[in-house]
A = this chain, B = another copy of it.
């Protein structure tokens, strides 16, 4: 589910210039602490969406929901909130949000009261024909209450002529195009779905006999749940008191998991589709060193996303790995900066380059990616100000040249530094002495493959290549995203 609102709370300004995963989903069926465990699961998935979160539960008679802007730990820290979310079946969602109702009405899980009963839905990903469908549904008399693509699925279910909710959901999904990992619930079932190409991850786990669905395995770890398996691309899991039933209602296509999950999105301790994220990142660092090493004195990561690849890089080169950039852990909200004298202090507010480590050194700075390049400029400058003799920037992903339409917040193509500039121009822009990216094949090698299969690429790497595996229906048709003409706030 996609939104273009900026995160007002930036925990790490060095992460300002990153692509942003837009959602995390979680669900648990059959546990007496369902809501509390969902809150914990969402907390472990906080990195997938930091702007709002919600939980819906069912207690045997009634659905209960709580949705709010902010971080999971704040939203669900009030004991009564969790207590009111009664029941043994619960699903949750992390996403972006902003102030006011604009945010509120878009916070998931979405809920609908069907003829057959209540239904709640959490969505990670993005539909690429939502605008076309939205227009059609409004014409029919459907009233939308959010600006999310996810609500399209809600209405398609409402008007489906099939009988059971699962059939109506599958009927609805045959109409949509896009990337989606869904966790839904009725008054007795939990349903997990991964789109036919499996662009976004989804795992199945179990805890004390209860079944769990989550975007990443780290959300199983936090509650002590056992990892069972990844949900397969195109699979629909229907979970009720009789257990887990697997359906494969869609035509088969080769899987195309988003490779950026390994580069930046997923948490380093997650294992995604069978591969450990931290290990991949160290291997990318090693590949990067093999492909582009230069004589230097010290390897310094851009915290925190550059840490594993910098360690892999340092290990491969046997050069000292040093924490040359110290992070202030107490970041809070942005400070007011009342004059221009102070405005330029922005970056140091949250980080400080350690002169003792850097002065008179040839520094290799390792980061995971460059998007607009704006932050890289500041980091390179900060390292130079701390006395570095040379600054060599090494990036643990290929140049990001294309926007994502599958549930990632990317700038427009023309804002992507690599889209309009050669590596040499980029180097000049960020002010480094040298700049190098890992190659596309190097990236695939770090994944344990021999390289990219150019015929049938093993992953979605559209942001590096422009090869979009799922049709961009709205975009190709010039369809503009549905805008609500109503800006509403709640007191």
Contact = CB atoms under 8 A, between A and B. Distances in A.
Interface string A150-168: 0000110011000000000
Nearest to A35: B338
A64 B490 CA distance: 11
A308 B323 CA distance: 8
Contacts of A64: 486-488
A167 to B, nearest CB: 15
A43 B487 contact: no
A223 B338 CA distance: 13
A61 B487 CA distance: 11
A203 B126 CA distance: 49
A37 interface: yes
Interface in A243-289: 267-269, 271, 276, 278-279
A329 B11 contact: yes
Contacts of A61: 485
A490 B487 contact: no
Interface stretch (A138-146, A370-378, A421-429): A138-146
Contacts of A326: 218, 267-269, 278
Nearest to A53: B491
A198 to B, nearest CB: 22
How many copies of the chain does the oligomer comprise? 4
B276 A356 contact: yes
Contact of A342 (B36, B44, B143, B323): B36
A359 to B, nearest CB: 11
A158 B138 CA distance: 9
A104 interface: yes
Of A66, A107, A117, A486, most buried by chain B (CB within 10 Å of CB) is A486
A73 interface: yes
Interface stretch (A78-86, A231-239, A431-439, A441-449): A78-86
Given A40-B342, A155-B143, A329-B47, A335 B73 contact: yes
Interface string A110-149: 0111110110000000000000000000110111110000
Nearest to A486: B63
Contact of A332 (B72, B83, B353): B72
Interface in A41-77: 43-44, 46-47, 50, 56, 61-77
A146 B375 CA distance: 45
Contact of A65 (B46, B139, B267, B489): B489
B66 A330 contact: no
Contacts of A320: 315
A304 interface: yes
A357 interface: yes
A336 B78 contact: yes
A71 B330 contact: yes
The dominant DSSP class at the A interface is mixed
A354 B43 contact: no
A348 interface: yes
A321 B323 contact: no
A336 B79 CA distance: 5
A440 interface: no
A218 B352 contact: yes
A270 to B, nearest CB: 9
A173 interface: no
A37 B224 contact: no
A56 B484 CA distance: 14
B487 A65 contact: yes
A335 B143 contact: no
A489 B72 contact: no
A80 B89 CA distance: 34
Of A70, A139, A348, A485, most buried by chain B (CB within 10 Å of CB) is A485
A12 interface: yes
A307 B336 contact: no
Contact of A348 (B138, B187, B221, B357): B221
Nearest to A70: B491
Nearest to A487: B64
Given A74-B332, A117-B485, A224-B345, 16 more contacts: A11-B330, A36-B336, A46-B329, A56-B486, A66-B489, A66-B491, A69-B491, A75-B491, A113-B138, A113-B143, A114-B138, A141-B142, A311-B322, A311-B323, A315-B320, A321-B321
9 contacts: A36-B335, A36-B336, A44-B328, A64-B487, A66-B490, A113-B138, A141-B158, A221-B348, A311-B321
